[in-house]
Amino acid sequence: MTPLSDSTLTGSDALHSEAQASLVKRYRSYLLLERAYSRNTLDAYLRDLDKLLLFLGSASIRPEEATLNDLRSFAAALHDVGIEPRSQARILSGVRAFYRFMLMENLIENDPSELLESPKLGIYLPSVLTVEEIDRMIRCIDLSRKEGQRNRAIIELLYSCGLRVSELCNLKLSQLYLDEGYIRVCGKGNKERLVPISARAVKELQLYFIDRNSWDIPPEFQDYVFITVRRHTAAIGRIMVFRLIKQLAEEADIVKNVSPHTLRHSFATHLLEGGANLRAIQMMLGHESIATTEIYTHIDRHRLRQEILEHHPRNIQNH
């Protein structure tokens, strides 16, 4: 198969045959309706599928005709154009999902991706902020600005509740149960979970609502918790939250790579280090598998060593 360039693999506006376009449309409906994926996840799956279809199309191979060797060649091409191993693994996971769909729809008799291997990955541990660093970021917020108290509430909610940035942006007033001390979060796959909210986060929200109540908010955005206040009024977006976190980290002289996910990871890590049960953290984060929680939360090694020394029968001295 002819080696491909980076531009060939990353093109997103390729013209597919009518049959192929119909197949992609069916797959999109499946992801949207049956898997209930969010818009961002759906777009990512379709972009990755497009890479595969472009690759197979360069050799005049229809997706239902692809063999394991064809898919391995595709995996090798991802490596050759410099795509990172973690991104390779995500793309190949999407390839497997596509062929499982084809098998389920009786479009193929055998799944060629069944033995397709992903690159081996080491455990990736995102940066963790200390409580002092988070407090420094909060102190950098200028409360004299119209959006100042809103930004304090955003930081506190991301950290105190461990929310994904998409969950924060889509949070509705009707999902807040502040008197009872929890919020109802709609996570991946439209799965709902109840997350406790700290007294500090409740206070920051209530102070923000004093400002928010004076804003002229269009009816379609009135149920959203976090609203933009510059240029136009709308529900806050993911990019705006990313920029806010980056800016505050820079102003707080934090040299780590900080994003909204850093606050989520810090939430889980601090809970674990404080002795919280891993299953409880899994539920609060909305992870389907506890294996995901174990990746996101690294254990304080000193505390783990002390636990082993104190409780393992070989370390307990006989008196």
Going by C-alpha positions, the residue among 137, 148, 140 that lies closest to residue 208 is 148
**Catalytic pick from 27, 37, 159, 296?**
296
Would you tell me how many other CB atoms lie within 10 Å of the CB of residue 201?
22
In which region does residue 70 sit, left (phi positive, over 0), alpha (psi from -120 to 50) or beta (all else)?
alpha
Across-strand partners of 193?
185
**Catalytic pick from 164, 212, 265, 270?**
164
**Catalytic pick from 96, 203, 261, 298?**
261
Q: Is 164 considered catalytic here?
A: yes
**Catalytic pick from 188, 193, 203, 238?**
188
Would you tell me how many other CB atoms lie within 10 Å of the CB of residue 114?
12
Which secondary-structure segment (H or E) carries 193?
Answer: strand 192-196
As a whole number of angstroms, the distance between CA 290 and CA 315 comes to: 29
Going by C-alpha positions, the residue among 34, 165, 173 that lies closest to residue 101 is 34
Residue 254 C-alpha from the chain's centroid: 22
As a whole number of angstroms, the distance between CA 319 and CA 307 comes to: 20
| Three-state secondary-structure class, residue 304 | helix
**Catalytic pick from 150, 212, 264, 270?**
264
Q: Is 200 considered catalytic here?
A: no
Taking each helix axis from N to C terminus, what angle separates 39-57 and 68-80, rounded to the nearest 10 degrees?
110
Q: Is 188 considered catalytic here?
A: yes
Q: Is 298 considered catalytic here?
A: no
Q: Is 296 considered catalytic here?
A: yes
For the chain, list the strands marked E by DSSP.
Answer: 176-177, 182-186, 192-196
Count CA atoms closer than 13 A to 34's CA, side-chain side.
9
Q: Is 264 considered catalytic here?
A: yes
Token pair belonging to 96: 């497997």
Q: What separation in angstroms does the CA of 114 have from each of 1, 44, 100, 272, 283? A: 21, 21, 9, 36, 30
As a whole number of angstroms, the distance between CA 262 and CA 91 comes to: 23
Catalytic center residues? 164, 188, 261, 264, 287, 296
